[in-house]
Amino acid sequence: MQGIGEQLLEKGIPVSFSEPMRLHTTLRLGGNADVFVQPESEAQLETALRLIHASGEKLTVIGHGSNLLVRDGGIRGVVLMPRLCTYAFEGDCLIAGAGCMLHTLSEAAAAKGLAGLAFASGIPGTLGGAVFMNAGAYGGEIGDLFVSAVAYTVLGERVTLTKEEMAFSYRKSGLQESGAVLSKVCLQLTPGKEEAIRAEMAELAIKRRDKQPLNFPSAGSTFKRPENAFAAQLIDHCGLRGTWVGGAQVSEKHAGFLLNRSGTSKDFLDLMALVEKTVYEKTGIRLESEVRILGEDE
């Protein structure tokens, strides 16, 4: 019986084997994925999902890996990264492949004189990952713009998802339960002036550069915002700013960012555990990981 990787290759779908996940995560950490597949069209995505389901192999979906920590032992089964990167405008709507990067879409919308996406221009992920996470910044969230999406179930069945079905809330979407794989998303933008949109994007980029440690590998804010508090403030007040575990460090610049300074995923997880424990002991507040943790220990 042929392995799933060979079956996918036979269908002309790009596949690699023992793919280092540190190459596909902004944290630059993680062991290898057994099989790494990058469908480049909806048809390839559908075929890949059907074959993976029939093979019984475990499926893991990733976008740009900007909110992921992959453990040092890597990921068994198949990792699927949809490379659906085309987009078009229909009136004030943007219809884009889930693999499009947010900064590309923000730029394109600005050039069209369509406002709404400036908040997302500095979030270093794909549209698919942003919808899954309901990514947000500076008062905007992707769920605010979402109209509908085309997705595939893990069985490879095509479905249309409405805003109601997505049930967006803080860093949450219905996809986190359903496991559907997004292929295409429709966002509602509003007419604006290119100059004003670009000025807003530039202002937000400066804010990010001033506040965030963008020169070291991270997955952004490691923890979700607890109710009535800010994770970074709690971490700072507990004296953890700058703390190291192995090669992982709480950022000196922004205590909500945990950094990979030359460590392993284990170092990063141990630092997360230390931060969670200390903050709980000193404040009674439990921090919850915003970063999604995948794979196996070494």
Ligand X SMILES: Cc1cc2nc3c(=O)[nH]c(=O)nc-3n(C[C@H](O)[C@H](O)[C@H](O)COP(=O)(O)OP(=O)(O)OC[C@H]3O[C@@H](n4cnc5c(N)ncnc54)[C@H](O)[C@@H]3O)c2cc1C
The active-site residue, picked from 106, 183, 221, 251, is 221
Nearer to ligand X, 68 or 201 (CB): 68
Please enumerate in sequence order all residues whose Cβ is within 8 A of that of 199, keeping only pairs 6 or more positions apart, or say none: none
Active site residue 225: no
Rounded CA-CA distance 65/291 in Å is: 10
135 three-state secondary structure: coil
Nearer to ligand X, 5 or 128 (CB): 128
Stretch in the footprint of ligand X (CB under 6 A) among 64-72, 196-204, 267-275, 277-285? 64-72
Stretch in the footprint of ligand X (CB under 6 A) among 65-73, 85-93, 110-118, 242-250? 65-73
- Are the beta carbons of 241 and 249 closer than 8 angstroms? no
Residue in the structure block whose two tokens are 């496991």? 179
Rounded CA-CA distance 119/200 in Å is: 8
Nearest-approach distance from CB 84 to ligand X, in angstroms:
8
Nearer to ligand X, 205 or 214 (CB): 214
Q: Could you write out the DSSP letters of every residue in 192-255?
A: --HHHHHHHHHHHHHHHHHHS-TTS-EEEESBPPPTTS-HHHHHHHTT-TT-EETTEEE-SS-T
The active-site residue, picked from 19, 141, 276, 290, is 290
Nearest-approach distance from CB 150 to ligand X, in angstroms:
11
Rounded CA-CA distance 236/252 in Å is: 9
Among residues 47, 66, 264, 265, which is the contact residue for ligand X, using CB under 6 A?
66
Active site residue 221: yes
Active site residue 241: no
- Residues 169-208 touching ligand X, rule: CB under 6 A, are 175, 181-182
Nearest-approach distance from CB 171 to ligand X, in angstroms:
7
Q: How many residues make contact with ligand X (CB under 6 A)?
A: 32
For the chain, report the end-to-end CA distance as a whole number of angstroms.
28
- Are the beta carbons of 59 and 77 closer than 8 angstroms? yes
User: Quick check: 129 binds ligand X (CB under 6 A)?
Assistant: yes
Contact pattern for ligand X over residues 248 through 287, marking x by CB under 6 A: ----------------------------------------
- Of 178, 200, 186, nearest to 127 (Cα)? 186
Site residues for ligand X per CB under 6 A:
26, 61-68, 82, 98, 123-126, 128-130, 132-133, 135-137, 175, 181-182, 212, 214, 218-220, 292
Q: Which residues are catalytic?
A: 171, 221, 290
